[in-house]
Structure 1
Amino acid sequence: MKPAEAYRWLLDYSTTTSLHRSMKSLLNWDQRTYLPKGGHSHRAQQVAAITALLHGRATDPEFAEMLAKVEASQIPGGPLSDEAVNLREWRRNYDRATRIPEALAVELAKAASQGELAWQSARRENDWKGFLPYLNQIISLKRQEAAALSTGGEEIYNALIENFEPGENAGSIRVLFDKLADAAFELLEKIEAGPRKPDPTALQGDSPASVQKTFIMEIIARLGYDLGAGRIDRSAHPFTSKIGPGDVRITTRFDPNSFVMALFSSIHETGHALYEQGLPAEHWGTPRGRPISMAIHESQSRMWENMAAKSPGFWKHFYPLARKQFPWLNKIDIDKFLFALNEVRPSLIRTEADEVTYNLHIIMRFKLERMLIGGELEPEDLPEAWNTWMERYLRLLPPDYSNGVMQDVHWPAGAIGYFPSYALGNMYAAQFYAKAEEKLGNLQEMFEAGEFAPFLGWFRQNVHSQGSRHLPRNLVKAATGEDLNADYLIAHLKRKYGRLYEL
C-alpha cells in the first residue's frame, strides 16, 4: 500500500474509532442524567465492553504498521500541517495505549463507572465507609496505570497528568502553583482586613427551577451556544458532553432559593460547549479536530464564568432581564448585586469558591492526589489529610465527608491528574482574555451592549479552530505571543478585587 493510501486508511480508521467513542460518551451522559438505579450494573458492563473494543482499536498492530509507513514518507510536510498533527497525536496515543494491558483498561473502565455511581449515593448519604472500597479500587488501578505509562525514572503521577495535559509534569506545575498560592494568601489577607463587606443576601430570593432554566437558556444562547446542536439537563455534578458533531450537551443543578448557582455552573459548562462547537467540523474524527488539553478546555469555561459573566458590563446588559424573571431583584441595586456575586470568602465546596480562593482548592487536591499515586498517602487516611490541608489553606474544617473529601466526582470516576487543569486553565484564561482585549478594545463596553460575538470570534480563530494543532503551551504562545505567565491571572485578581474591596 502506498503512503497516501495508508494515510487515507488511518483517517477512516480514526473516524470509525471516534464513532465508537461517541457511543461511549452517550452511555456516560445517560449514566449521569437519567439512568435508573436498576441499570447501574449493566451499564458498567456496557462501558467495560466498549472500552475493550476501543482499547483493541487503539493497540491494533495494523494501525501501527500503517502509521509507521506514513511517518516514513513525505506526507507529514511541515510540523503544523494537518497531516503532521494527526500523525503526532496518533503516535502519542498509540504508544501510550500499548503500554496498558487490555485487562487493566477494562477493569479501570468498570471501576470508574461503578465508582461514580457509588459516589452519587454515598455523597448524598455521607457514607464514607461504604464509599471507601470503591475509592481503594480506583486508586490501586490508577497506580497500576501510572506505572505502566511511565517511561523512566520520573514520578509516576506525571503519566496521569499527561492523560489531560500533554507536555506537563508535576514539577513544572508546582512552580506555577506555588506562585499562585502565595499571591492568593496575600490578596486574601488584604481583603479580609479591608473595610468593605458584601451582603450575600443580595443573591437570595424565590427562584423556581423552571424560571431559572428559561433565564439560563436565553443567556447562554446570547453568548453563542447553539441550542439546536445541544441541550441542557439536570445532574448531580454539572458537566459537558460532546456526543458528536451537532450534539454538545450540558447539565446543571438548581437551588430554589437562588438562581446564581445554576446560572454560573451553566455558563461554565457553556464555555466548554462553545469550545466543542467551535472545533473544526471538517476534521471531526481525527486528532486535528479534537481539543488539545483539559486546561485549554477549562480556560474557556472559567473565562466565561468568571471574567465575562461576573463583570459589570455583562450585568449592565442582563440585569433588566434578571429583574424581569426574578422580581425580588428590583429591590437590589446592581452594584450591591455585583459585589455579592464576587464575594471573596473561603468556602468548603470547590465549585462554590470565589476566584481568589479557587486555586487553593485545586492546589491542595494536586498535592493530595500526587501523594495518593506516589504511595505516600492511602485512601483510608485521605479524610484526615484533606482536613489538614483545608485548615492550612482555607482555615475551614468540613463538618462531614460530603462537604469535604467526598465532594468531587473526579477521583471515584478515575479522573486522577485532572485537577491541575483547572488552575492551569485559569492562567490560560487570564492571558487569553488580556490579549483578546488588546485586539478588540474595551470588552466591558462590548458586553454592556450585548455584543458577545466579537469576543467569541477571537476564541474561534485563536483557540477553537486550532483543535490539536499546537500543544497547550505552544497554543498560548501562538495566540498571545508569550509563554504561559501566571502574572496575568495574578494581575487580574489584584485589579478586580482591589477595585471591589477598595484596597
Structure 2
Amino acid sequence: MEKKFEELKKRLHEIYYLQSVMSVLTWDQNTYLPPAGANARGSHFAVLGKIAHEKQTDPKLGKLIEELIPWTKNLPYDSDEAALVRLAKREYEKAVRLPTPFVAELNEHLAKTYQVWVEARAENQFAKVEPYLEKTLELSRAYAEFFPGYEHIADPLIAESDYGMKASAIRKIFRELREELVPLVEQVTSQPEADLSFLHQHYPKERQLEFSRYIAGRLGLDQKRARIDLSPHPFMIRFSHGDIRITTRVDEQNLADCLFSVIHETGHALYELGIDPSYEGTPLYDGISSGVHESQSRLWENIVGRSRDFWEYFYPQLQAVFPAQLSQVSLDEFYRGINHVKRSLIRTEADELTYNLHVIIRFELELALLEGELRIKDLPEAWRSRYQSDLGVTPPDEKRGVLQDVHWYAGLIGGAFQGYTLGNILSAQFFEAALKAHPDIPNQIKQGNFTTLHDWLKENIYRYGSKYTAEEIVQRATGSSLTIQPYMNYLRKKYKELYRIT
C-alpha cells in the first residue's frame, strides 16, 4: 500500500504542476500579455487544460484511489495520508463528471472573454462582451448539469469554491446578515460626512507602491517568495511554495486603493505561504475554500489594517513618505477617513459596513441568471435597479456597474462572490479566537508586531491547507460552526465608537 500511495502522489504531482503552469499563464495574461496575444493564450489554456483533465480522469488514477481507501480506514482520520486519499477521491469523482472537450472549450472561452472584458470595460461598452457572457452562462448551466441531484442549480458551482455550502444555506446567512446590517448602515450614514479630501490628493505611484511593499513585508510577506505587480483587478496567485504573485492597481488620486489592495492580497499570500511545504505537489497544498481564504485577506485588510492600533505605529511613517499631503492630518482624521461609511458604487472600494450589500446583490443576480429569471441582455439594468434599491446609488455607466468585477468574465457564473462575505464573517470569528488565546495581540499591533497573530493563524489554519474541510477548520480553530455574531459584534463596536452613536 505504501508503494501505491507513492504512485498516487506521483500522479498527483503531474496534475499539480500542470495547473501551476496554467497559473503562470493566468498571471501573465493579467499583467503583461499584449492584447493581440489573447487568442493564442486561449489555445494555450485549452491544450494544457485538456492534458491536465485527462490526467485527472485517468481510470488508473481512480483504481489506485479505490485500492487505497481500505488502507486509509486503518489510519487515524487526522493523518496526512488519509486526508490526501479522501481529497483525491473527491477531486477525481468531480473531474470524471466533466467531459474533456467541455473543459478545453471552457478554458479557451474564458481566456478570450477576459481580454474582451478588459477592452469593454475600458470602452464602457457592455454590448461588446455581452455575447461572450451569454456563452459563459450557457457553459455555467452545462457545468451544473454534470452534477445531477442538486438542490439548486448554483450548488455545484458554489461547491467548486466553497465545498459543503449550498445556495439555501448562503441565502439564510445573507438574509440574517442583511437584517443586521441595514439598520446599522442607516444609523451610520445619517451622520455628517467626514472630509476625505486628504485621501484624494496627488500620491505619486512609485511612492505608493514602495510603502505598500514595505507594509506587506512587515505583515510577514516573505519577499524572496513573493512579488507584487500591476493588473486591472488585484489578485493573488500561487505557482509553488516558493513563488507567490500579488497584483494591485494604483490610482494617484486615491491613497487607499493600492495600499489596502496590497494588504488584502498579502492576507491571501500569507495563507498560501503558511501551508505545510510537505503538501506541495498534491491537492492538500491549497486553501480549503474561498470563504476561509477570504477570511484571511479581510482579517489583515480590515480587522488589522484599518484598525487604530495598526496606524498608531504606521501613520507617522506614512506621513514621512507623503509629508505635503498628510503632515496636517491627525491620526484621528486619518483613521476616520479610511473607515468612512458611504453608499457607493464600487465593491472593491466599499467600506466594511456596506461591502456585504455589494456581495449580496451579485450573489442574487447570479442565482437569477442561472434560474433563467434574468437574461444577460437585461443584466445592466437589473444591476442598476438593485443598486438603487439596496444601496441608494445608481451607476452612471457600465464601467462602474456591471463591468466593474472580473469574476463573470474570467470564470463561471455562480459561486463567484459568496466567499467574500463568508470570509468577512469568518475573519471576525477567527480573530476573536486568536484574542482569546493571546489577549495581548492588540498591544503588539500597536508596536508593529504581528508575530503572535501570524503564528496563531499558521498553527490553526494555514498549515493544514486542504487537509480538513472548511467546516472542520472553523470548528477546530474557534470551537463552533460559522456564526455572524462575532462579526456583527466587531462592526457594532468599531462603528458606534467611530461615529459616536449609541
Partner SS, residue 409 of structure 2: coil
**Matching residue's letter, 1:400:** D
- Alignment check: 8 A CA contact 2:53 2:95 kept: yes
Aligned counterparts, 1:154-169, within 5 A: 154-169=151-166
Aligned counterparts, 1:235-384, within 5 A: 235-327=231-323, 328-384=325-381
- Alignment check: 8 A CA contact 2:408 2:416 kept: no
Cα distance in 2, alignment partners of residues 290 and 256 from structure 1:
34
The residue number in structure 2 matching 1:57 is 55
Cα distance, 1:183 vs. partner? 1.2
Cα distance in 2, alignment partners of residues 100 and 337 from structure 1:
51
Cα distance in 2, alignment partners of residues 454 and 18 from structure 1:
32
Partner SS, residue 237 of structure 1: coil
- Alignment check: 8 A CA contact 1:254 1:261 kept: yes
The residue number in structure 1 matching 2:476 is 478
CA offsets 1:47-91 (integer angstroms, 9 cap, x no match): 111000111011100000101110122566122211121111111
- Alignment check: 8 A CA contact 1:11 1:286 kept: yes
Moved more, 86-95 or 333-342: 86-95
Cα distance in 2, alignment partners of residues 311 and 384 from structure 1:
37
Cα distance in 1, alignment partners of residues 314 and 69 from structure 2:
52
CA offsets 1:116-147 (integer angstroms, 9 cap, x no match): 11111100101111110111111111110011
The residue number in structure 2 matching 1:178 is 175
1:501 maps to 2:496? no
1:35 is aligned, of 33, 36, 56, to 33
TM-score (norm: length of structure 1): 0.97
CA offsets 1:412-467 (integer angstroms, 9 cap, x no match): 11143120000000111010011111111143311111111111111000010111
Sort the Cα spacing of 1:76 and 1:200 in 2 relative to 1 into closer, same or farther, 3 A.
farther
Cα distance, 1:153 vs. partner? 4.8
The residue number in structure 1 matching 2:486 is 488
Cα distance in 2, alignment partners of residues 494 and 317 from structure 1:
24
User: Gaps (5+ residues) in structure 1?
Assistant: none
Cα distance in 1, alignment partners of residues 341 and 181 from structure 2:
11
User: Gaps (5+ residues) in structure 2?
Assistant: none
- Alignment check: 8 A CA contact 2:263 2:301 kept: yes
The residue number in structure 1 matching 2:459 is 461
- Alignment check: 8 A CA contact 1:299 1:427 kept: yes
The residue number in structure 1 matching 2:106 is 108
Cα distance in 2, alignment partners of residues 84 and 388 from structure 1:
49
- Alignment check: 8 A CA contact 1:4 1:75 kept: no
Cα distance, 1:103 vs. partner? 1.2
Cα distance in 1, alignment partners of residues 464 and 447 from structure 2:
29
Partner SS, residue 229 of structure 2: strand
Cα distance in 1, alignment partners of residues 123 and 217 from structure 2:
36
Cα distance in 2, alignment partners of residues 415 and 231 from structure 1:
28
- Alignment check: 8 A CA contact 2:137 2:412 kept: no
Sort the Cα spacing of 1:217 and 1:74 in 2 relative to 1 into closer, same or farther, 3 A.
closer
**Matching residue's letter, 1:414:** G
Cα distance in 1, alignment partners of residues 368 and 98 from structure 2:
22
1:203 is aligned, of 181, 199, 204, to 199
Cα distance in 1, alignment partners of residues 495 and 440 from structure 2:
19
- Alignment check: 8 A CA contact 2:17 2:281 kept: yes
CA offsets 1:357-377 (integer angstroms, 9 cap, x no match): 100010111101011112221
Cα distance, 1:258 vs. partner? 2.9
Partner SS, residue 241 of structure 1: strand
- Alignment check: 8 A CA contact 2:54 2:100 kept: yes
Aligned counterparts, 1:101-140, within 5 A: 101-140=99-138
- Alignment check: 8 A CA contact 1:311 1:444 kept: no
1:16 maps to 2:27? no
1:7 maps to 2:5? yes
1:399 maps to 2:396? yes
Q: What RMSD in Å do the two structures reach over aligned CA positions?
A: 1.1
Cα distance, 1:482 vs. partner? 1.2
CA offsets 1:210-230 (integer angstroms, 9 cap, x no match): 111111111110000011111
Cα distance, 1:38 vs. partner? 1.7
Cα distance in 1, alignment partners of residues 243 and 494 from structure 2:
36
- After the TM superposition, which parts of structure 1 deviate over 4 Å for at least 4 consecutive aligned residues? none
Sort the Cα spacing of 1:459 and 1:415 in 2 relative to 1 into closer, same or farther, 3 A.
farther
Sort the Cα spacing of 1:23 and 1:405 in 2 relative to 1 into closer, same or farther, 3 A.
same
1:232 maps to 2:228? yes
- Alignment check: 8 A CA contact 1:292 1:470 kept: yes
Aligned counterparts, 1:148-159, within 5 A: 148-149=146-147, 151-159=148-156
TM-score (norm: length of structure 2): 0.98
CA offsets 1:21-40 (integer angstroms, 9 cap, x no match): 11000000000000011211
2:67 is aligned, of 45, 66, 69, to 69
Cα distance in 2, alignment partners of residues 496 and 321 from structure 1:
24
Cα distance, 1:388 vs. partner? 1.6
Cα distance in 1, alignment partners of residues 261 and 488 from structure 2:
23
- Alignment check: 8 A CA contact 1:202 1:336 kept: no
CA offsets 1:388-432 (integer angstroms, 9 cap, x no match): 211111011110111001111000111431200000001110100
**Matching residue's letter, 1:145:** Y
Partner SS, residue 140 of structure 2: helix
Sort the Cα spacing of 1:367 and 1:32 in 2 relative to 1 into closer, same or farther, 3 A.
same
- Alignment check: 8 A CA contact 2:65 2:85 kept: yes
Cα distance in 2, alignment partners of residues 312 and 153 from structure 1:
45
Partner SS, residue 240 of structure 1: strand
Cα distance in 2, alignment partners of residues 469 and 244 from structure 1:
18
Sort the Cα spacing of 1:153 and 1:422 in 2 relative to 1 into closer, same or farther, 3 A.
closer
Partner SS, residue 249 of structure 1: strand
Sort the Cα spacing of 1:275 and 1:153 in 2 relative to 1 into closer, same or farther, 3 A.
closer
Cα distance in 2, alignment partners of residues 204 and 37 from structure 1:
31
Cα distance in 1, alignment partners of residues 316 and 330 from structure 2:
11
Moved more, 420-429 or 366-375: 366-375
2:78 is aligned, of 77, 80, 84, to 80
Cα distance in 2, alignment partners of residues 50 and 109 from structure 1:
9
**Matching residue's letter, 1:291:** G
**Matching residue's letter, 1:282:** S
